[in-house]
Amino acid sequence: MDSIVVTGNGPLNGEIPIAGAKNACLALMPATLLSEEPLILTNAPRLSDIATMTVLLQSLGADAASLQNDKVLALSSHDLTSTRADYDIVRKMRASNLVLGPLLARAGHAEVSLPGGCAIGARPMDIHIDGLEKLGAVIDLKDGYLHAKAPGGLKGAVIDLAFPSVGATENLMMAATLAKGSTVISNAAREPEIVDLARCLNAMGAQIEGAGTDRIEIQGVDRLGGATHRVVTDRIELGTYMLAPVIAGGDVECLGGTLDLVASFVDKLAEAGVSVEETGRGLRVRHDGGRVRAVDVTTEVFPGFPTDLQAQMMALLTTAQGVSTLHETIFENRFMHAPELVRMGAEIEVQGGTARVTGVERLKGAPVMATDLRASVSLILAGLAAEGETVVSRVYHLDRGYEHVVRKLSGVGAKIERVKGT
Ligand code: EPZ
């Protein structure tokens, strides 16, 4: 297994291009299953999760090709040959469950493996299932698979989500586009990835209003056409790289970033004493490398502080002036990076969903292990300012959500390299 070696090397300077959003692309790709016409996605990120979704779509009979250095995805599901999402693919990536709604709407039936356990939490699908049943589907669990059918087609309904789940909102919004009549999803998720998906579906001929608010209305149509859609910027990659010059000092411009994508995060940085500048090309962060002020962070659904930036923020707060607390409210087990940061000399106490971080002068490099996607990049960020060398192992987690990490960080002066595993 490959590892990444980072050596604290002083301030970072330059530009980092931010890619298209993994979590938008993983919802946009299954939208091809709703139509017989081609769907072209531009500004696609080059990630192992995107490759896994490509394999899944191909296993259903869709054509899925990546062009122009993987920046463009050409998708078409004119002839579906299967409606079964196999366990062997789904267990690699939970987002595979986003084919359930589109398959049910298009083919009237689907067999989708339940994803199984996840490092950061139980992550059940009850809200997805409840919503699809409200749209008239009959869903049984057999041999680890959800068997869903709607022989007469789906019918519009009013669905009040028990929690504003991102995945459930995406699955139900896609299913409702071809349902008879109108659907209202209330207490819907408001993440930018939902807005991006609705924008693409409307370009395909859907009738969706209210995406980005907690009430989404969908007027079902008989069929959807094709479209060309540019994937929205990855706000989590953006936030991650904005923290690099704060942790190591320096002046970095994140190209393609916009404030609306990361407003609550930028507010938290301001509280810690760090300002962010909009440049017209992106977001610029300058910091003298001094210790920031301790702050309290509570993760929330959008537009609150994103859970996917919690680990990276913890890496910063390990050297803050004072004591910070981080409350993780979205996932029940998302502090696995804490003991690894403690190996680097951080002072962190975790109790349930709360981590108490007492800032130290400086971290020390150490061998550490990645446990999930965001935990892995938080260890790399911590290594940027640590004394000596940090060796992060199990970086396959990182490849799922960050393209060209070594190239992007060394491009602004970081001392970082990838070491091939034996
Ligand atoms: C999406 O996951 C993202 N993944 C996650 O990013 C992100 O952390 C999460 O939204 C929250 O923002 C993708 O978009 C592919 P949820 P999703 O359904 O859709 C509970 C990353 O690092 N819940 O909003 O799975 C669930 O257990 C990943 O890129 C139910 O109880 O998240 C969790 O506690 C990690 N029942 C909470 O809701 C359900 O049916 C939020 O889950 C569905 C969810």
Per-residue pLDDT of the chain (422 residues; tens, 9 = 90+): 899 999 998 999 999 999 999 999 999 999 999 999 999 999 999 999 999 999 999 999 999 988 777 788 999 999 999 999 999 999 999 999 999 999 999 999 999 999 877 888 888 999 999 999 999 999 999 999 999 999 999 999 999 999 999 999 999 999 999 999 999 999 999 999 999 999 999 999 999 999 999 999 999 999 999 999 999 999 999 999 999 999 999 999 999 999 999 999 999 999 999 999 999 999 999 999 899 999 999 999 999 999 999 999 999 999 999 999 999 999 999 999 999 999 999 999 999 999 999 999 999 999 999 999 999 999 999 999 999 999 999 999 999 999 999 999 999 999 999 999 87
* Cα 120 to middle of ligand 1, angstroms: 10
Catalytic residue among 25, 118, 200, 254: 118
Assess whether 118 carries a catalytic annotation.
yes
Which residue, judged by its Cα, is nearest atom 22 of ligand 1? Answer: 308
- Give CA–CA dist 186/172, Å, rounded: 11
- Give CA–CA dist 298/324, Å, rounded: 11
Give the residues across from 3 on adjacent strands: 393, 419
Q: Looking at residue 121, what is its pLDDT?
A: 85
Q: Looking at residue 421, what is its pLDDT?
A: 83
- Residues 144/168, Cβ–Cβ less than 8 Å: no
Residue with tokens 């923290």: 243
Helix (H) / strand (E) containing 75 = strand 72-76
- Residues 335/355, Cβ–Cβ less than 8 Å: yes
pTM score of the predicted model? 0.98
Which of 22, 23, 160, 185 best tests ligand 1's pocket when mutated (most atoms within 8 Å of CB)?
23
Q: What are the backbone dihedrals phi and psi of residue 52, each rounded to the nearest 5 degrees, phi first?
A: -65, -40
- Give CA–CA dist 140/145, Å, rounded: 8
CA-based radius of gyration for the chain: 21
User: Is residue 243 classed as helix, strand or coil in its secondary structure?
Assistant: helix
DSSP letter (8 states) at residue 85:
E
* Cα 166 to middle of ligand 1, angstroms: 6
Which residues approach ligand 1 with their CB closer than 6 A?
Answer: 23, 26, 94-95, 121-128, 163, 165-168, 189, 307-308, 330-331, 373-374, 401
The dihedral of CA 362, 244, 238, 49: what is its sign? negative
* Cα 95 to middle of ligand 1, angstroms: 9
- Residues 179/201, Cβ–Cβ less than 8 Å: no
Q: What are the backbone dihedrals phi and psi of residue 241, each rounded to the nearest 5 degrees, phi first?
A: -75, -25
Query: Angle CA(88)–CA(402)–CA(30) in degrees, nearest 5?
Result: 45
Atom of ligand 1 nearest to the CA of 374: 22
Atom of ligand 1 nearest to the CA of 170: 19
Q: Looking at residue 118, what is its pLDDT?
A: 80
Which residue, judged by its Cα, is nearest atom 18 of ligand 1? Answer: 165
Atom of ligand 1 nearest to the CA of 121: 27
Atom of ligand 1 nearest to the CA of 189: 24
- Give CA–CA dist 112/370, Å, rounded: 29
- Please give the order of strands across the beta sheet that includes 158-160: 158-160, 182-186, 215-219, 207-209
Which of 22, 120, 163, 264 best tests ligand 1's pocket when mutated (most atoms within 8 Å of CB)?
163
* Cα 9 to middle of ligand 1, angstroms: 35
Q: Looking at residue 94, what is its pLDDT?
A: 94
Atom of ligand 1 nearest to the CA of 332: 34
Sort residue 96 into left (φ over 0), alpha (ψ -120 to 50) or beta: alpha
- Give CA–CA dist 5/16, Å, rounded: 20
Which residue, judged by its Cα, is nearest atom 14 of ligand 1? Answer: 23
Which of 139, 166, 298 best tests ligand 1's pocket when mutated (most atoms within 8 Å of CB)?
166
Atom of ligand 1 nearest to the CA of 129: 40
Q: Looking at residue 119, what is its pLDDT?
A: 81
- Give CA–CA dist 82/348, Å, rounded: 49
Task: Tell me the CA distances in angstroms from 15 to 208, 233, 252, one per residue in order.
Answer: 37, 15, 6
- Residues 310/328, Cβ–Cβ less than 8 Å: yes
Which of 93, 128, 330 best tests ligand 1's pocket when mutated (most atoms within 8 Å of CB)?
330
Q: Looking at residue 129, what is its pLDDT?
A: 98
Q: Looking at residue 9, what is its pLDDT?
A: 85
Which residue, judged by its Cα, is nearest atom 44 of ligand 1? Answer: 165
Q: Looking at residue 160, what is its pLDDT?
A: 98
- Give CA–CA dist 87/90, Å, rounded: 5
Interior/surface letters 32-46, b for 16+ CB within 10 angstroms, e for the rest: bbbbebbbbbebbbe
* Cα 124 to middle of ligand 1, angstroms: 9
Q: Which two tokens stand for residue 17?
A: 């291009």
* Cα 388 to middle of ligand 1, angstroms: 36
